[in-house]
Amino acid sequence: MTQGSVSGPAPGVARAVGSGGIAQAFRDALCGPAHQGSPQVVWADGGDRIVLQVDRLQVRTSGSVLVVAVDTESAEFGSAPLIARFVFGTEQDPAMLVAATDAAPLGHPQVAARWGELFRSVVWAAFARLVEVTAAGQQPGRIRLHEGGLEVTVQERVSIRDLAHAHFRQEQL
């Protein structure tokens, strides 16, 4: 497929996803295809089980920070929140699909230690997929969070090979 045959927004055009769309993408990812639309889902691994109350999933943005929280329930710890936080670039220093996150997910220490990495990984994968779908076949160029959701600006696709050749030629000067 050539670049000209890809349909989608023109380079420089921003596409938006509301906070409800972001939350739904995370709910769907946490539930998996077999349980989409369920108010809760059970994750099990090695004899450990935890219930995620995905119907109570919360997504908040504040500046360049995205916070995703879900209530969990387990026999060992009762009800406990599980929280993942991602910090993106700012308007002055925009980021593409890059974010900083906490060393460990937040919430009940033992719940976060056991299930936090998986939770954060699923949420991040869902976010990356949401950005890709929002870009509609184009190259995501800039991601901006705002109170109402997410804005993805697309850019021309850049060939890594061409970029490397240009860099090499520039170094030779």
Rg for the chain (alpha carbons), in Å?
A: 19
- The pTM for the full model equals 0.79
Q: pLDDT per residue over 70-97, tens digit each?
A: 999 998 899 999 999 999 877 677 666 7
What b-and-e string marks burial along 107-144, b requiring 16 or more CB atoms within 10 Å of the CB? bbeebbebbbeebbebbbebbeebbeebbeebbbbbbb
Q: What is the average pLDDT score of the chain?
A: 84
C-alpha angle 171/154/8, rounded to 5°? 130
Number of Cβ atoms within 10 Å of the Cβ of 104:
12
Whether the pLDDT of residue 28 is over 60: the answer is: yes
Q: pLDDT per residue over 90-116, tens digit each?
A: 767 766 678 888 988 999 999 999 999
Whether the pLDDT of residue 156 is over 80: the answer is: no
How long a stretch of residues is the chain? Answer: 173
Lowest-confidence segment of 37-41, 56-60, 165-169 by average pLDDT: 165-169
Mean pLDDT of 141-163: 79
